[in-house]
Structure 1
């Protein structure tokens, strides 16, 4: 059997969960080839200089749809295939919380931007990667959120995009039987997004909601990026077919085997 190194496209890799995923993958004894995207690549460019198996590209997924239709196939997909000849997994982690605003005051343009980042860009990435993923019997890991089914004041845009992502996950499992697709809720992770939530968006949420998020930080009870990052990375490398189409919490018992280093 011919040995090959799998190729993973990882989005949102510049900070938080995505950066933790990238560090985990690079630290494996036999790391995959990785195409890592981020809007700001300053934190990951030094890693590319040190790791021959890492390619870094700056991509702004909030760009107009007309631009994404060019950037995604001509830059992201093309770079992975031209360099390594295949795509084995998509680990789609990029996203934005904004706008945090009640429906009666939220601007439609802000909702449109949120949907481009959190949902439509994922659709376009998947659509363009499908030919390669079919060849490799590949994997798609979607980073969803508990906000898809738990509701907070002002979170209408973010939560509804994550609910749409879960539906997309199940649809792909039905339509693409050769590809394994899974959506994962990472829990409330100690990242810059949570810091912004506590510091900027508290005035939109109710006092009880605001107190809840502050208490998580004060009690040191948030999920560590490296813990959930390891699970997501392992799923991208070897998720079992029986999990295709499922939406799971990152610490679900069924995922216990993915919580240890490969």
Structure 2
């Protein structure tokens, strides 16, 4: 009998991560899940109701020294101690800010967004590699279509997500037994979109801002549960032929995961 897979899911407390979690918990044979979020209060009732769910609080914006010690001890070691293995990392956490034009860029702010969106993922992968090699596991990274287009003020966010795509490509090359993919989840109806509509109109052009407002008003935003189901399925059965790729969540190559 096959062992129950073990998935580590970051950014699990809301938005896309909550959509992934809802999908995985509702499966007929759900995996064991270590859900990581800065605020685990919304997740605690779920953990009480599901024996296969463990929740851990961790702030990926913490200084490098803290991340280097906290990620192995608070996440990787906890999963292995509880379930004896790790089969997948679903790296979903991320931040948009700072939204600022290049002339107003502050390196301290760029340091923060890169620490959250990129460097913490490097630490996560590095800490999990020994277990992922054993299980011939999977790494699913949540990227952004912002890597393919420019918006006023999005240089820090877009470039950090572009670096994440290359991280997926490199990991697939260096670790061929581990299957890795980077996914653009579409424009999803999350708090990030609310922040874009309400807080960044002065930095973006009026056309850019109107586009995001219109996506909400016209009901075009992707549901977190819809894209969450695709990401959750990828974390369970990502095929080797997709390793190293960057794809949009609704790409025809992912039809089997919808």
So what's the TM-score if we normalise by structure 1? 0.98
State the number of aligned residues.
Answer: 258
1:239 is aligned to 2:206: no
Corresponding residue SS for 1:44: helix
Consecutive unaligned residues of structure 2, counting only runs of 5 or more, are none
Instruction: Work out the CA distance in 2 between the residues paired with 1:192 and 1:74.
Output: 29
Instruction: Work out the CA distance in 2 between the residues paired with 1:116 and 1:203.
Output: 26
Corresponding residue SS for 2:200: coil
- Tell me the CA shift for residue 95 of structure 1: 0.3
Instruction: Work out the CA distance in 2 between the residues paired with 1:46 and 1:102.
Output: 41
Match for residue 10 of structure 2? 11
Match for residue 94 of structure 1? 93
Match for residue 198 of structure 1? 197
Instruction: Work out the CA distance in 1 between the residues paired with 2:227 and 2:131.
Output: 27
Q: Deviations over 1:53-109 (max 9, x none)?
A: 000001100000010000001111010001000000000000000100112112211
- Tell me the CA shift for residue 231 of structure 1: 0.3
Instruction: Work out the CA distance in 2 between the residues paired with 1:230 and 1:53.
Output: 18
Match for residue 252 of structure 1? 251
**Superposition RMSD on alpha carbons, in Å?**
0.6
Instruction: Work out the CA distance in 2 between the residues paired with 1:235 and 1:151.
Output: 28
Instruction: Work out the CA distance in 1 between the residues paired with 2:27 and 2:2.
Output: 17
Instruction: Work out the CA distance in 2 between the residues paired with 1:74 and 1:14.
Output: 20
Instruction: Work out the CA distance in 2 between the residues paired with 1:161 and 1:63.
Output: 17
Corresponding residue SS for 2:35: strand
- Tell me the CA shift for residue 132 of structure 1: 0.2
Corresponding residue SS for 1:73: helix
Corresponding residue SS for 1:248: strand
- Tell me the CA shift for residue 3 of structure 1: 2.0
Match for residue 27 of structure 2? 28
Alignment of 1:54-203 (within 5 A): 54-203=53-202
Instruction: Work out the CA distance in 2 between the residues paired with 1:258 and 1:183.
Output: 14
Instruction: Work out the CA distance in 2 between the residues paired with 1:4 and 1:251.
Output: 30
Instruction: Work out the CA distance in 2 between the residues paired with 1:97 and 1:202.
Output: 14
- Tell me the CA shift for residue 203 of structure 1: 1.1
Instruction: Work out the CA distance in 1 between the residues paired with 2:88 and 2:133.
Output: 11
Q: Deviations over 1:124-158 (max 9, x none)?
A: 00011000000000000000000112110000110
Match for residue 220 of structure 2? 221
Corresponding residue SS for 1:131: helix
Corresponding residue SS for 2:59: coil
Q: Deviations over 1:162-187 (max 9, x none)?
A: 00000000001100000000000000
- Tell me the CA shift for residue 43 of structure 1: 0.9
